[in-house]
Amino acid sequence: MWMERFLARLSDRIVTVSEGQRRELAGYGIAPLEKIAVVPLGFELEDLLACESYRGELRRELGLSDENRLIGIVARLVPIKNHRLFLQVAKLVAEAVPQARFLVVGDGELRGELKAYARDQGLDGRVLFTGWRRDLGRLYADLDVVALTSINEGTPVSVIEAMAAGVPVVATAVGGVPDVIVDGETGYLVKAGDVKGMAEAIIELLRKPKRAREMGQEGREAVYPKFAAQTLIANVERLYAELLRQKSVDFHNPKFNPSRRRDMTITTKIPEDVEARFRRKVEQLYGAGGTAKALERAIELWLRETKDEIVARERKLNNDALKRLQPELEKQQGKYVVIAHGKLQGVGDSIESLQSLAPDAYHRLVFKVGEPLPRRRRLGWRVRRKQRNPSAGIAKTSSL
């Protein structure tokens, strides 16, 4: 994990999607807890909030009656989702609730194997493999209980969707699932591999419809708006704004070493209106319907452009002031000076004595009078010296 720890040191924040992941990363020594921020995933959940209007459509499609109780699992058919546990649970539930039917929603490499296993469990006619479905509203509207049997899980998307639809959930307490479900309140949690425990929880919900409705409502309130797409945008915006505020407080290097960098240092502060501008930009990009990756890239480019714009504006002011103040500065041979906000802010015998001057400046020039300013094309500076003798005074520049 040396690479993760190294990259964490270079980062201002590490972002995880759940509190469990945050604690896990801190436990591995990747970064301290205070450096890790939790930003939950966001989904388009609004359609699921009103999915009751679709009730009955899926049952009619599948040839099922209102008397049938439907238990579903929505997941890829891969080993980590542990569908065998779901089928073992289905066998126990079917024995206790004969009218129960079970939907396996999704597809994957284990489809054929799981169909054969369902037959071996005596579940022919009771388990329906629907494949992938896009009509999530119709699906969740007719499910009485949603199960999750995963061996491990990040953020359980199907659990969040089911809870938003008001469907009670029974899930294994693995990975990020406990960060979503409060056991006994917004759903039921069981240990991984606990066939009997999961079957008992599902049977209870089927036999106590009032309890199931109450738990479904509690679940809905727990995930919405917490996991809504708009909340994700707001959380990312808040994180960026916090980091920008921190940058504005102390962006310069307090360990400045004049023996290595004798020319100048630069500090940058984002102006006060940046949060409002940032909010408008995020809303504009989000409204365009771009992907999360495209949105992240666009925000990154906008922040860079904003910073460059601010620095360029202040740099011009300071460079103009440098030319204007040259006669006065020539009287300060061997002294360090600070120019910020287009003005001479102070004169001192050392860099350290000047670091506290103009802390709110977007850009500062700090240099020693009498030493030539070196060429710095990397930062966009173009310096041409008319005099090479440092003792003659501050370096004359035709363009800076």
Q: What is the CATH number of the domain that holds 52?
A: 3.40.50.2000
- Same domain, yes or no, for 126 and 194? yes
Who's near 362: CB < 8 A, 6+ residues apart?
A: 267, 268, 269, 270, 271, 310, 311, 313, 314
d(CA 174, CA 20) in angstroms, rounded, equals 10
Q: What is the pLDDT of residue 177?
A: 95
Indicate the pTM of the whole model.
0.62
- Strands 36-38 and 69-74: what pairing? unpaired
- Same domain, yes or no, for 142 and 245? no
Q: What is the pLDDT of residue 332?
A: 86
Q: What is the pLDDT of residue 282?
A: 60
Residue 399 in any domain: the answer is no
Total domain count, the chain? 3
Which two structure tokens, joined as six digits, stand for 331? 């009287």
Q: What is the pLDDT of residue 400?
A: 28
Residue 232 in any domain: the answer is no
Residue 177 in any domain: the answer is yes
- Same domain, yes or no, for 85 and 193? yes
d(CA 126, CA 81) in angstroms, rounded, equals 20
Q: What is the pLDDT of residue 77?
A: 97
- Same domain, yes or no, for 52 and 167? yes
Residue entry with tokens 């679709």: 54
Residue 270 domain boundaries? 241-392
Helix axes 195-207, 209-223, angle to 10 degrees: 110
Full pLDDT tens readout for the chain, 400 residues: 778 888 888 888 999 998 888 998 999 999 999 999 999 999 999 999 999 999 999 999 999 999 999 999 999 999 999 999 999 999 999 999 999 999 999 999 999 999 999 999 999 999 999 999 999 999 999 999 999 999 999 899 999 999 999 999 999 999 899 999 999 999 999 999 999 999 999 999 999 999 999 999 999 999 999 999 999 999 998 898 888 777 653 334 444 333 333 333 333 444 455 556 665 666 665 555 555 555 566 666 666 666 667 778 888 888 888 888 888 888 888 888 888 888 898 888 887 788 778 776 777 888 888 776 544 433 333 333 333 443 333 333 322 2
End-to-end CA distance of the chain: 45
- Same domain, yes or no, for 257 and 215? no
- Same domain, yes or no, for 28 and 50? no
